[in-house]
Amino acid sequence: MRNTILYLLLILTIVSCNQKQNKNAEISKNQNSKVQEIIPDSIRAKQISDLTFGMFICWSFSTFSGNEWTQNVSNPSYFKATACNTDQWCQTAKNAGMNYILFLTKHHDGFCLWDTKTTGLKVTNSPLGIDVLHELRKSCDKYGLKLALYFSEGDWSWLGRIGTQSGENPEIKKAQLKELCTNYGDIEFFWFDHATNDGGLSHEETTKWVHKFQPNCFIGYNHGAPSGRLCIRERGTPGSIGDSKASKYNKENESTYTNYLVAEFTYPILPAHKGGADWFYSLPIYDTLSLSAEKIHEDYLGAVKYGNIFSLNIGPNYEGNLREIDINALLKVGELITENTKR
């Protein structure tokens, strides 16, 4: 009888331990997959709108080609950056009164700025050899900034490309987005570039896929079929939602799509010039060109007025640093914002 009781106690102890282990495993699984409690649209839209002002970082093959689009490059060594100063980017953004970084994870050329498992065309295979997005995530946390991501839907490294239109590879697109959604913390919004098509996964399917991992993430597309809650105005201006005059490439969607809750506008800090790139670091001969702090501050005030978010684009140089002229302009913007809030 005594042996029977001892045997039953042993069985109960084992079952209890297994249940505890399973529960801990489930908690760990939830932590690793960053499961989010869904925030109501009205609250989440206010959180996104309150981001107001951020830095849009573009740094990739085009930094070194001197062209906006860099085609027919398949060797990651083409990315010749000698350093990566994410702390400088974030500290400058913070001093400028910015609240987030919007980071280009992959342009149309297919070069990934994170340590993806989907392709060898990635920054960790370049001479730089580090996961830039991982470093940026740490710097954002260090300086109290939120993180948003730009992602080119199409990819010229995929089979089936015709001219500048990408081939289709929906499974790789999904795999890359899953990596971005599950390995780098909370993403405030995705800025999807439709310039080379949707990569074989429709905008509605793309939105649902991202929300599977990060339901509170706002999603927008610069053109193509409308989807998501974020209105994207590439080279746009401040304005209320539905104001097609504020949009350059997304006019029809802006005037007809009814699910937008927040509008974002973006343009480069580099003024119009002949030759070179616009959104990336351009040729060294343009190192003396930058928009004035007054112009940037004026559009910042427009973003505040209409509840927009303003992503000012800046391209780090070959050494992974922001240009001095851009830093000085942004410091002045930060001063103007501080002065304005004191009035």
pLDDT in tens, 137-173: 999 999 999 999 999 999 999 999 999 999 999 999 9
Amino acid letter, 316: P
Contact between 53 and 312 (Cβ < 8 Å): yes
Whole-number pLDDT of residue 224: 96
Q: pLDDT band at residue 32, thresholds of 50, 70 and 90?
A: very low
pTM of the model: 0.90
Sign of the dihedral through C-alpha 12, 15, 17, 20: negative
Q: pLDDT band at residue 17, thresholds of 50, 70 and 90?
A: very low
Phi, psi of 328 (to 5 degrees): -65, -40
Q: Give the integer Cα–Cα distance in Å for 178 and 196.
A: 21
Summarize pLDDT for 306-331 with one digit per residue, the tens. Answer: 999 999 999 999 999 999 999 999 99
User: If we measure between CA atoms, which residue out of 220, 200, 224 comes closest to residue 210?
Assistant: 220
Summarize pLDDT for 114-123 with one digit per residue, the tens. Answer: 999 999 999 9
Whole-number pLDDT of residue 340: 81
Token pair 């919007």 is at which residue? 102
Cβ atoms within 10 Å of 133's Cβ, excluding its own: 24
Contact between 154 and 168 (Cβ < 8 Å): no
Let me know the angle formed at the C-alpha of 84 by 81 and 85, rounded to the nearest 5 degrees: 140
Query: Is residue 1 over pLDDT 90?
Result: no
Summarize pLDDT for 253-306 with one digit per residue, the tens. Answer: 999 999 999 999 999 999 999 888 999 999 999 999 999 999 999 999 999 999
Query: Is residue 31 over pLDDT 90?
Result: no
Q: What is the DSSP string of 64-101?
A: HHSSSS--S---GGG-------HHHHHHHHHHTT--EE
Largest CA distance in the chain: 94
Whole-number pLDDT of residue 15: 42
Whole-number pLDDT of residue 275: 85
User: If we measure between CA atoms, which residue out of 140, 53, 145 comes closest to residue 333?
Assistant: 53
